[in-house]
Structure 1
Amino acid sequence: MTDKLSFALNQITTPRLTCKEFIQLAKRLGCSGVELRNDLRDKRLCERAFFDGESPKDVGAYVRENGMRLLGLSEVYAFNRWSDEIREKVARLIGEAVASGAETISLIPSNDGRTESDDARLDALRNALSRILPMLAGTDLIALVEPLGFPTSSLRHKSEAIAAIKAVEGDARYKLVHDTFHHHLANEQEFFPKWTGIVHISGVVNPSVDVREMQDEHRILVTGDERLGNLAQIAALSAAGYTGAYSYECFAPSVHRSTALESEIAESVAFIRAGAS
């Protein structure tokens, strides 16, 4: 089973590389595809524009010329706080995805800690999904909804996302991101392989940080002493029939600063292949 695992890279893992350097790294590592991000400059991880200022069409072609898939473009944050501004961001990302030949776009719920009833929170989610659905018409895109496991998240559980998607009859257009970090933080037990469009993987090793206090900056590569149960999650997803990519999404500054990241990712892949059975 593990020899059939497909790996990918999310651009947040290597924000210091140019877009083409990132794509070449993924190729050397034998990745099946890449995910590109529009928020690296917003997060002050680089000064480059999305696609490094090149046309989405040319960058997408470059990915495919190097034998990989452009698995997705990230992201529209707080998509479930619907507004004219969010509509514009969704429309822009859809346009960039179509131009580049990306397969998906990512929709990220608000993580603002707002106090609200479950009815209001889920109504807002359904409203956003219903408004985005016709915007996807005429494209081949899938929109990926990524529940965030943080206690401050407005959407923590995949089961709620699935129920909302069904409620707006969006089964053909929406799938989920299964993120091993957020799955652990939300204390989720159920897997939804048929609903899963991609899996994001990362590890947390700091023994002093409580699960409720884990944040993106703790997320490193998957190693032997990680605390999120990546191997068990990957094994469960694979055994249940998930055959898509496992994409490294590491936010930790220590990963971004590494001068040996290529070999470290290769070692992590080897560790997963050896252990996720």
Structure 2
Amino acid sequence: MEFALNHMSVARMGFAGLLRAASELGCIGVEVRSDLPGPLFDGMPAGDAGALARDAGLRLLALAEVSAFDDWTSDRRAQAQILMQTAAEAGAESIALIPRCDGGTGDLVMALRDLMPMLADHGLTGLVEPLGFTASSLRLKRAALDAIDTLDASATLRLVHDTFHHHLSGEPDIFAAQTGIVHISGVTDPDVQTSEMTDAHRGLIDGADRLCNLDQIERLLTAGYTGPFSFEAFSPDFHALPDPVGALRQSMEFIRTRGSAQAA
């Protein structure tokens, strides 16, 4: 397995801290976010940020995010254009496309049709991430894949398999061949109902995990997925730990050892 680190998991660190943490953990790359306090890359020029990551032996897997992308407007298009330009300057591989999550509906095909040539012009992949929340306009990976197939866009658009959102959606299918990246996090609160789970419940994966992460990971690997598994922990309790890197290392070891035992 290859691991990666989403900046959300170490949200209290700056960009340089994210790179140090990922290097210490032996990750292959990082995902950088535009929704954290402070400017993207801590205000560093995108080209310099990309060079810093490459010097650390890390890939810039993705920049996140174009939010509510399926509510496609001129403002949304401008937001996407700016993010793509930044990603291209930094040498990032993809950008994240996040659907509406306000109870409204979106026009998925229209948005993706307009995004396709923009992504191609910048040499980027679009990572479409369904959200399992009931308020999401795109809950199922199957719906995203149907739109991608309609547009014959598999060379430009890939799915995000998020173990948290996969659990919330109740979707049974695993689309390993169409998946560009996997986000992993665990929920260990024994009292919260699935319908009440929020991002704040998302910590690391251990023996108390309720999202069946090990099963999801095994199914993806068995089906041929070879990409990175990126830690995306939102929990404020995890963020407040004095040694989040040590906790991440323990979770990695748990996944490797328990996953190997389960596969055997």
- TM-score range (shorter-chain normalised) is over 0.9
Following superposition, the deviation at residue 169 of structure 1 comes to 2.1
Determine whether 1:268 maps to 2:251: yes
Cross-structure match for 2:39: 49
In structure 2, how many angstroms separate the alpha carbons of the residues matched to 1:273 and 1:94?
Answer: 34
Following superposition, the deviation at residue 140 of structure 1 comes to 2.2
Cross-structure match for 1:108: 98
- 1:3-22 per-position Cα deviation (integer Å, ceiling 9, x unaligned): xx000100011111110011
Segments of 4+ in structure 1 off by > 2 A?
137-140
Cross-structure match for 1:175: 158
Cross-structure match for 2:78: 88
Identity of counterpart residues, as a percentage?
Answer: 46
Cross-structure match for 2:185: 202
Cross-structure match for 1:70: 60
Cross-structure match for 2:241: 258
Determine whether 1:187 maps to 2:173: no
Following superposition, the deviation at residue 208 of structure 1 comes to 1.0
SS of 2:121's equivalent in the other structure is: coil
Pick from 187, 203, 212 the counterpart of residue 195 of structure 2.
212
Following superposition, the deviation at residue 251 of structure 1 comes to 0.5
Following superposition, the deviation at residue 202 of structure 1 comes to 0.2
Cross-structure match for 1:59: 49
Which consecutive unaligned segments of at least 5 residues does structure 1 have?
Answer: 42-47
SS of 2:66's equivalent in the other structure is: strand
Structure 2: which amino acid aligns with 1:95?
Q
* TM-score under structure 1 length normalisation: 0.92
Determine whether 1:34 maps to 2:30: yes
In structure 1, how many angstroms separate the alpha carbons of the residues matched to 2:98 and 2:121?
Answer: 23
- 1:71-97 per-position Cα deviation (integer Å, ceiling 9, x unaligned): 110001100001011001100110011
Cross-structure match for 2:212: 229
Cross-structure match for 2:110: 127
CA RMSD between the two structures: 0.9
SS of 1:70's equivalent in the other structure is: strand
- 1:105-154 per-position Cα deviation (integer Å, ceiling 9, x unaligned): 0000000012x5xxxx4xx1100000111111233210000000001110
Pick from 19, 28, 45 the counterpart of residue 23 of structure 1.
19
Q: How many residues align?
A: 260
In structure 2, how many angstroms separate the alpha carbons of the residues matched to 1:93 and 1:223?
Answer: 35
SS of 2:122's equivalent in the other structure is: coil
Which consecutive unaligned segments of at least 5 residues does structure 2 have?
Answer: none
Structure 2: which amino acid aligns with 1:53?
G
**In 1, are the aligned partners of 2:85 and 2:122 still within 8 Å (CA)?**
no
* TM-score under structure 2 length normalisation: 0.97
- 1:171-219 per-position Cα deviation (integer Å, ceiling 9, x unaligned): 1100010000000000111100111000000000111111011100000
